[in-house]
Structure 1
Amino acid sequence: MLPTPKALLATLAAGLLVTSAIAVIAPAPATAAQTVLVNDTFTRTIASGWGTAPGGAAYTVSPSSAASLSVASNTGVIGGLKPGGSATVTLASESVADVDLTANIQVPAAPVSLFHAFELRRQADGSTYRGRLQVGSTGSTSLAISRVNGAVETGLGRVALPFIATKATTISVEFRVTGGSSGSGAITIGGRAWVAGSSMPDWQSIVTDSSSSRITKAGAAGLWEYASSSNAAAVTSRYDNLVLSANPAPAALAPVSTPTPTPTATTTPTATPTPTPTTTPAPAANPQPAQGATPVGTATYAAPATALYVSPTSGSDTNAGTLAKPFKTVAAAITASKTGQTIVLRAGVYHEAVTIPTNKTLSIQAYPKEAVWFDGSTAVTSWSASGSTWKTSGWSFFGDSSMDGVADNPGFVDPAHPMAARPDQVFIDGTALRQVATAAEVTAGTFAVDAASKSITIGSNPAGHDVRASNLTQAIAVLSPGSTLQGFGVRRYATSYSEKGAVRLGSTSETARDLVIQDNAMIGINVQNNAATLDHLTVQRNGLMGIGVNASYGLVIKNSLVTGNNSEQFKPAPVSGGMKITRSRGVTITNNNTSNNYGSGIWLDESCYNATITKNTSSSNQYTGIQLELGSTAIIADNDLSNEQFAMQIIDSSNVKIFNNTMGGNSKFDVRIEQDERRQAAPGAVGRDPRQPVPDPTVTWLTKNITVANNVFGSGGYWQVYAFDAETHVSADAMALTISGNLFNQRTTTAQPTLVGWGQGDNVTVTRLDTVAAINAKNPAFVNVETSSSLPLSGMTSAIAGAQSGAVPLPADVAAALGQRAGTKKLGHL
């Protein structure tokens, strides 16, 4: 039998959860006493299924083909769960609204990626609240809370846990759902997990659900387990001490107690005048740029009275953190802070790497109109000349060049830029030098590092110049929900691929605002959780990518300037450029400039769903302006996309509305619509959202239902619209395309782009539709207009004005995304 969570079992009946170390807030009186419905220690032996718990509650198991379920050795076993498979165990006879479920889970002995979920208020159609313990292949652990409505799962919150699951670790897990069962009011869902046998912590994640889709009815309880398709083999998990209770108190955070101050001896002071209290001045209004951060040193965010202060030039970590006596380091301020506080940074350079922990929701911001930089580099002042190079010794930082476990991974690294994955960086007067492999290769404007001799060699004379080398890898990791970063800069961190970003947002509902993030070795800012907001950022010249996002439901990126990224010139794929977003839902990307990146400007990949991409300028990128790949349900409207290879690519994606974009001067295609061999339901498919079922009816990776309307196409390239499958015999006819209301560029010679390329079902043939009449002949519902001659975008003002009557009415959802009335007829920009 696995260890019993004694602290929990001993107090369930009382409705109060207490351990010897941590007291949880006493709840308000419940409407009914908490009742234990099931207390199962699995002392039976059953070869198939889990049988019946003590007291008569029967377990229902499904599906039988994905895993082998049994009861053995005093545990409930889910055995042989195949990669990409899932299994469900339900106590269908126990229908309850306010419910608490706890159990011990022994994770597999082998390193795998596995989700263990508790399902509460489960309805007949599969709708449920799902609390999930996630264990990664490296042993990392996190808790996630979501709501499933039919086949659609919506993430509500996720937090990283403060422990690693080593082989066969036993973890105690508890999730609780209360409220809203009368049909009104919000529903509260709480979760926590801890290594079995250790003290039970306070609730680590509490979310409220007040949406119209919340689940208000009583329902069944059970377990759901999913094994990642990346696992090498089938896995086995064991459950014990499963306790299901009705009518628990709502989950709530423990109160923060204020310690009684230690009395100090009274002395007779020398009389001094009463000082006027020192406060942060009320900031004057500062104009906000339309895109990008305010320049570092101009942000004006007011500080609350309870703020802590930091100064790298006049502070001390033994101070109290007041305005008059600030801390010296941000790390000290975080340690001293309480959840809900603001940390205000005075002017200066902070050579730090800090973490906001899971239990503290904080804001970190610059003092009004003071320049604050987190800087991952340090000054290097001792150089010895040798011919045309200069060398410093005693250098100790040499970064990790591995990507997905492979040093200088050729899947990412372009042979023309072989040092791209090396995070080493050297700057002279703020300008980056280019890294070469050895000191013998160093010339002006380059540098090399040598771990054996602990040295850096540069090819530019350092005399009279500020020379800096990067020796920190990450500026800020934010692991607490609701935290905010605003008003400062982050630069020159030697971030490796495994660390994701110089700034990392790792919990829910976090905000980054008015930040300048530049010249970092890999990714500028990384998001790894739901409901993040990135607003008025300037993200530039980062080595691989500006913004990287994975698994963020409810993501918003707006009003930001994301340029010059992939400065190390990695390959365009599998990842590089301005921003890439994967496995996310409910994404909004609006009013950004994502131009001049090496790679793509905006790239959504791997099962993104319900994206709104509007009013962006994404031009002069090396590869693509906007790309939607392996996705579904998107509005791409009122964007400027010019002077790149592809303005827009829609690959293996469905239900996409492409309205009122302006495209031209692109060297290959304006709108490329493609199907390849990938399918979401195929065995072993890579790129699924692990929070969604397999197969996922919402994201099938089938190119279908694409509308191209009210767009303006300038001259340039080969094709203005191109729809083709070169792999699986899907014709453009089968893609259910709508092409109407567009202003195409007339094709007067074969050197000018074809209006529409219409793929046949033989994987080879593309029929050219060279006039709007030919497009209309293909489908009489396709009504478009074309210019009277070949025109670049810059010469199309009159043509656009004269073609407005050809626009089609905006659908309601597109109109809402653009702030227009439904039915508005306008061609091009709105």
Structure 2
Amino acid sequence: MVRQPAHRLTTTKEAKATPTTPNKKRKIGFGIAAGSTAVALAAFGLPALAAQAAPVTYSNDKQIVSDTLDRVQQNGWGSAPVGGAYTVSSPTAFSANGATGVAAVPRPGASLTASLPSATATDADISTVVSIPTLPTTGNGVYAGVQLRSAKGSYYQATARIDAKARLLLSVSRINGSTADQTTIAAEKVVAQNVTAGQKIAIDFRVTGTDTVSTTARAWLASQTAPDWQVSGTDATAKKLTAAGSVGLWSYVSGSSAATAVSFDNVSAYSLKAVQGGQPTQPDPTQTATPTPTPTETTAPTEPTKPTPPPSRPSRPSPLSRRPVTPRSTRARHAPAPVRPPWAAPRTPSRRARTSWPPLAPTPCREAPRPPRGRACSTPSTPPRAVRPSFSARARTTRPSPFRVASS
């Protein structure tokens, strides 16, 4: 059996373990493309979606109607200074008395309409001031309304109603073709009470949007401050009105109430433009004079005084530094020799003096060779000890006594 080299076996295993197929390459390429798409969506798509989701507000763009109705006119209202000529439903019922435009409802259950066909807009705001010379005492009362997106008998309308209890009520509705096809967008709401005859009532109505139509309205006594929007509603049904239409004014007397006239004044309408949420409107720049600053004398600053540090406690000297230490060499060199008085006792001889005695005489046995075994030395091994002189005798002979008087 022939054995193959190890490097060939390793190469074969690696080739079998990691085969490269085109399917994996396709999967990797697809993953890279998906990642690039996600990054592109995060960079470009999400800001756009966030911008669409941001709240949208509206501001006045262009005034399409402006009429104070301060002219004298019979059989109609004539033409508005801004907005063109009026189209009325019954010319004999409309007139202008020099202060207001009057719509005299001829009988109970009848209605009157005055529109401005040339003043059209999709997103618009209309406002007016109405008054009723005689308040109803029975029935559902007297109605006065403003219309937007009016075209071919269809429109959105905000209606203010004064009932027999002298209350002011407000609602929003949509009419498709005729009042028989009427839909309530915002339910009726009481916004004021104790209304008196001839009292002026302001009405403001706004319609915006196409995908979802938003409607808001408010009504208040003209002598008071305008409140916020009081009623609102949205319309996203199939019958919603999305096309541009004209503006109009409407009046009606309930069938169970007495006929009366309704006066209109200060009719105004604006087309609206959308303002994206978070994007403030830019005010008109105005040049303001920059005041010249008056020079003031400045005094030189005084240098602040440095605080005096508190006195520090003296440090205690170390016990080692209380006495000067003299080196041993200096002390031995400069120390004076002690002076012995004459009456002092004699000194004790030093160790050197005691060990300086003459050595003992050698013995014959120590000097002679060692005798044979079994035989003793003939000479005595220990000679007699030498007699040492007495200590006092040595002291007297070596050093004279200090008490001895020398002979002359």
TM-score by length of 1: 0.25
2:239, 2:274 → 1: CA distance?
23
Aligned residue type for 1:156: I
Aligned residue type for 1:226: Y
**What residue is the counterpart of 2:142 in the other structure?**
114
- Aligned ranges 1:137-148 → 2 under 5 Å: 137-148=164-175
2:204, 2:274 → 1: CA distance?
13
**What residue is the counterpart of 2:234 in the other structure?**
208
Is contact 1:40–1:241 with CA below 8 Å preserved after alignment? yes
- Aligned ranges 1:287-686 → 2 under 5 Å: none
Aligned residue type for 1:197: S
**What residue is the counterpart of 1:154 in the other structure?**
183
Compared CA separation, residues 205 and 171, structure 1 to 2 (3 A): same
1:80, 1:186 → 2: CA distance?
35
5+ residue gaps, structure 1, are 1-26, 253-830
Shift of 1:117: 1.2
**What residue is the counterpart of 1:223 in the other structure?**
249
**What residue is the counterpart of 1:612 in the other structure?**
none
Q: Number of aligned residue pairs: give it.
A: 216
1:249, 1:241 → 2: CA distance?
25
1:197, 1:77 → 2: CA distance?
21
Shift of 1:28: 4.3
Match of 2:128 among 99, 103, 107: 103
**What residue is the counterpart of 1:89 in the other structure?**
114
**What residue is the counterpart of 1:171 in the other structure?**
201
Is contact 2:67–2:82 with CA below 8 Å preserved after alignment? no
1:130, 1:205 → 2: CA distance?
12
Residue 46 of structure 1 aligns to a residue whose secondary structure is strand
Residue 199 of structure 1 aligns to a residue whose secondary structure is coil
2:164, 2:106 → 1: CA distance?
15
Q: Which has the higher contact order (CA 8 A, sep 6+)?
A: 2
Shift of 1:116: 0.7
2:252, 2:273 → 1: CA distance?
28
Q: Which deviations, in whole Å up to 9, do the C-alpha atoms of 1:678-708 show, x marking residues without a partner?
A: xxxxxxxxxxxxxxxxxxxxxxxxxxxxxxx
Match of 2:69 among 27, 42, 59: 42
**What residue is the counterpart of 1:238 in the other structure?**
263
Q: Does 1:132 align with 2:127?
A: no
1:94, 1:168 → 2: CA distance?
29
Aligned residue type for 1:133: A
Compared CA separation, residues 103 and 249, structure 1 to 2 (3 A): farther
1:194, 1:33 → 2: CA distance?
21
Is contact 1:42–1:75 with CA below 8 Å preserved after alignment? yes
- Give me the identity figure in percent: 33
Compared CA separation, residues 42 and 249, structure 1 to 2 (3 A): farther
Aligned residue type for 2:249: L
Is contact 1:111–1:167 with CA below 8 Å preserved after alignment? no
**What residue is the counterpart of 2:224 in the other structure?**
198
1:178, 1:50 → 2: CA distance?
28
1:132, 1:94 → 2: CA distance?
20
Structure having the larger proportion of residues in helix: 2
**What residue is the counterpart of 1:77 in the other structure?**
102
Aligned residue type for 1:173: I
Aligned residue type for 1:192: R
Is contact 1:114–1:227 with CA below 8 Å preserved after alignment? yes
5+ residue gaps, structure 2, are 1-54, 278-408
1:58, 1:146 → 2: CA distance?
26
TM-score by length of 2: 0.50
**What residue is the counterpart of 1:386 in the other structure?**
none
Is contact 1:131–1:143 with CA below 8 Å preserved after alignment? yes
**What residue is the counterpart of 1:596 in the other structure?**
none
Shift of 1:81: 3.2
Q: Which deviations, in whole Å up to 9, do the C-alpha atoms of 1:788-828 show, x marking residues without a partner?
A: xxxxxxxxxxxxxxxxxxxxxxxxxxxxxxxxxxxxxxxxx
